[in-house]
Each structure stands twice: as C-alpha cells, then as structure tokens.
C-alpha cells in the first residue's frame, strides 16, 4: 500500500485509491467501500447506526464494527419496536453479553432511543425525514481534498444533536452526530481523490426521503 504526497489517499494492492482511515484491515476496507458515505433513508437502519455510533463514544469505530453481529443479535435486529419493550432484566442480560460493549448507560440509551424513535414515527412524517430535513433532504458535499478539510462537528451536527436529545436520545453530541452523518451519507466526506467520492456523490443527487 502506498500513500500520495499528502499521506491521506492510500493506494492498495487492488490499485484503488482510498481515504486514509480504513488502513489495510479488510473489515474496515469493505466498510469504507460499500457502506460509509452511502445515503441511507431507511428509518430502522438510521436508528441502528445512530445507536452504534453512540456505543462508539470513547472507542474506535472498528471496535464496534467487529462486534456488529453481536449487537444485532443482542438488540433483536435493532427493531425499535422490540428494543422499546426492553426491561431492567434485559439491561442485566445485555450487561453480561460479551458480544457487545457492556456499558449500562449506553444500553439504556439504546432503549430510550427506541422509544424516542417510536414517538417520532407516530407523530409523523417519520424518523428518516426528521433527520434528513436537517440537511434539506440531500447529502452535503464537502469536496474535501485533505484530512484537515474534514470537520469533526458542524453547525448542522450541533443542531441535530440538540434536537435528538430533546426527543429523548442520548450519546448524541455534535461529534458523534457528525460521524453518524458521514456514515449514513448525509455528509459525503470521502476525499476527492478516493474512488468512492464520485459514486457517493452520484447516489445523493436529486434524492429526497
């Protein structure tokens, strides 16, 4: 694997130029190539990703990614209707589950988030439009050429985080929310030299949830 003069675009043995952050880990590279930055409009999937980003707080994303199957099993496929019914017994069950990050506050946050998700869905128009409205229903194209040009939080992520907290979500500070927005394609932060930049840009053109 080689890096260009900026040290931020890496070229792998398959000759694909990529953002610097997945390194050579095959799990991370696959996530970068197939998921990160792809616009997501499904309300359930958005709940799952937001909760997983909350579990990431204080940890690396690859730590969460390697446990994603365990999380999906433990949280019943991240179906909010099911998670919202979790009880204190479920919290204790999850605290003993080695397949996830065993943090009581984050587990309880997933449950309160599921209940908040249901309230937003019932009030209409739904969780996906609620979130996408913060960026006017279309991915924000940053066209960043270097790592230094990529923000860790923005006015939009601060506003979205406050709105989520008001609805009952936890672990939704502006940095976590910005990482979430990058992951679900609300922000296209693939570097312009990355082979995924143009495809992710095209996926978001003209789309409204």
Q: How far is CA 198 from the centre of its chain?
A: 20
CA distance 46 to 51: 9
**Quick one: pLDDT at residue 2?**
46
φ, ψ (nearest 5 deg) of residue 141: -100, 110
DSSP one-letter code for 97: -
The answer to whether the annotation marks 200 as part of a ligand binding site is no
Domains and CATH numbers, the chain: 43-204 (1.10.340.30)
- Beta carbons within 8 Å of 109's beta carbon, 6+ residues apart: 51, 54, 169, 170, 171
pLDDT for 7 beyond 80: no
190: which 2 tokens?
Answer: 């693939």
194 labeled binding residue? yes
Q: Which residues are 8's β-sheet partners?
A: none
Predicted local confidence at residue 5, as pLDDT: 42
Give 76-115 pLDDT, tens digit per residue: 999 999 999 999 999 999 999 999 999 999 999 999 999 9
What's the predicted TM-score (pTM) here?
A: 0.93
Q: Is 172 assigned to a binding site?
A: no
Is 32 known to sit in a ligand binding site? Answer: yes
């Amino acid at each position: 694997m080689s890096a260009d003069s900026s040290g931020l675009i890496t070229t792998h043995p398959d000759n694909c130029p990529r953002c610097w952050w997945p390194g050579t880990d095959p799990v991370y590279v696959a996530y970068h190539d197939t998921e990160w930055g792809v616009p997501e409009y499904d309300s359930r999937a958005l709940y799952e990703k937001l909760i997983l980003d909350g579990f990431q707080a204080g940890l690396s994303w690859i730590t969460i990614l390697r446990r994603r199957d365990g999380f999906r099993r433990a949280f019943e496929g991240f179906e909010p209707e099911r998670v919202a019914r979790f009880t204190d017994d479920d919290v204790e069950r999850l605290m003993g589950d080695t397949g996830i990050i065993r943090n009581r506050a984050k587990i309880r946050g997933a449950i309160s988030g599921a209940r908040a998700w249901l309230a937003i869905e019932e009030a209409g128009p739904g969780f996906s439009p609620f979130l996408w409205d913060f960026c006017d229903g279309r991915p924000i194209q940053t066209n960043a050429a270097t790592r230094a040009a990529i923000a860790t939080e923005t006015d939009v992520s601060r506003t979205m985080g406050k709105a989520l907290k008001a609805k009952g979500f936890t672990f939704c500070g502006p940095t976590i929310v910005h990482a979430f927005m990058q992951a679900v394609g609300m922000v296209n932060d693939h570097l312009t030299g990355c082979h995924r930049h143009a495809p992710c840009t095209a996926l978001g053109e003209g789309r409204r949830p």
